[in-house]
Amino acid sequence: GKGGRLDVDLKQVNPADLAGFSSLFSPLSALSLPVDAELGFELGMDGTPARGEVNIRLKDGVVSLSERRFGVSRFELDLETDLPAQSITLKKGRINVDGVGVRFAGTADFTLTPEGDIDVVTARVDGRKIDINVPSFLPAPIRNARADLGLTFLGDTNRLVVNTGRLSVQNEKAALSGDIDFSDGLPKFGLTVSFDTLARETAFNLWPVKIGQLTRKWVNENISGGRIEAASIALNAGLDELVSRKKGDPMREEALTLKMQFSDISIRPLRHLPPVKNANAGFILRGTSFQADLSDGQMMLSDPNNAEADRTVEMMTGKLEVADYRAQGVPSVVSFDAS
């Protein structure tokens, strides 16, 4: 009746087995690979764990998700828990999976159901040194990104909600919103990253390499100058769709949306036309389509036989639409309203 202490040293254990020790470890059940774990708890007067430390380690392993194998070079978690106070301190976390690495720390408070399962977890997580080097997905590595996240995990729906999200990516500030649904086992992402301003180089580094390759080429060749005043990337797809799609299969139209708002650009809508200068443009790239809406530009129409006949046309509005950007050729719909 005087309490005591419990220390457990586990070698090559499946993370899913830790859920039998406490429901707080149930999110680790997605990892089917052996880890080393050290658990140390002070025991309450009734013999149940009260306060303690949890250290989980893995180096050089493989995890299989949706028929694809991901290399795990590092997985570390150092936690302090106070079960009576229903609080957790994540002292240090480090993960490197298939070219994506992050170091993080944070705090969390939780409530349990009468049955002892997770009810609600509210957390604040500070992610540092986020490195992404996946050439098959992004054209250039992302180094030293940061994330300050306010999260809520809802146990009844098995859903992680981003309440607040502040990101720093290549010195650009962004906001993260949305949720991740774990109810069917593999995660389904409903996330949006929004930028107030964005450098052109950063925008193209965040443009997935297999999405709209012909559109990317057209934008590079026919748009110059200007600024990106706002941009967003929205992902609405499950992990299964992202990693198991057969080569050549298009992504769903709603699965990915990339938006960019340009100002003061020079754009050549068609090869045989002169460029529209000082224009504003809104671009929307979706799973299979591309659209550009133009406004407030000028086009210089020249007469090769009479330079004095050159005149400037004020561009009121314009639109380019490509129903399937995988197809070769010019945009399928081009329209202008000029004076």
pLDDT for 235 = 94
- Residues 295 and 219: their CA atoms lie apart, in Å, by 17
- pLDDT digit string (tens) for 189-219? 999 999 998 888 888 888 888 787 778 888 8
Question: What does the block give as tokens for 211?
Answer: 């999405």
16: phi then psi, degrees, rounded to nearest 5:
-60, -30
Instruction: Kindly list the distances between the CA atom of residue 285 and the CA atoms of 177, 251, 301, 313, 337, in Å, as whole numbers in the listed order.
Output: 19, 12, 30, 28, 23
| Segment of 3-7, 30-34, 116-120, 245-249 carrying the highest mean pLDDT | 116-120
In the 8-state DSSP scheme, what is residue 222?
Answer: H
Share of the chain above pLDDT 70, in %: 83
pLDDT class of 304 with cuts at 50, 70, 90: low
pLDDT in tens, 313-329: 787 788 888 888 776 65
Tokens of 309: 């006949």
d(CA 273, CA 82): 69
If we measure between CA atoms, which residue out of 214, 107, 98 comes closest to residue 150? 107
Q: What is the pLDDT of residue 94?
A: 94
Average pLDDT over residues 295-322: 76
Among 189-203, 260-274, 325-339, name the most confident range: 189-203
Q: Best-predicted range by mean pLDDT among 7-16, 113-122, 155-164, 202-211?
A: 155-164
Q: By C-alpha distance, which of 244, 319, 247 is closest to 289?
A: 319
What is the per-residue pLDDT for 314? 80
Query: What does the angle CA 284 – CA 289 – CA 292 come to, to the nearest 5 degrees?
Result: 40
- Reported as a pLDDT band with limits 50, 70 and 90, residue 1 is very low
Residues 6+ apart with CB under 8 A from 46: none
pLDDT in tens, 41-80: 888 787 777 888 988 887 776 666 656 677 778 889 899 9
User: If you average pLDDT over residues 239-246, what whole number do you get?
Assistant: 77
Distance CA 310, CA 159 (A): 61
Q: Is 60 exceeded by the pLDDT of residue 339?
A: no
* Longest Cα–Cα distance in the chain: 104
Residue 110 has what pLDDT?
94
DSSP 12-24: EE-HHHHTTT-GG
Interatomic CA distance for residues 292 and 2, integer angstroms? 72
Q: pLDDT tens digits, residue range 140-174?
A: 999 999 999 999 999 999 999 999 999 999 889 99
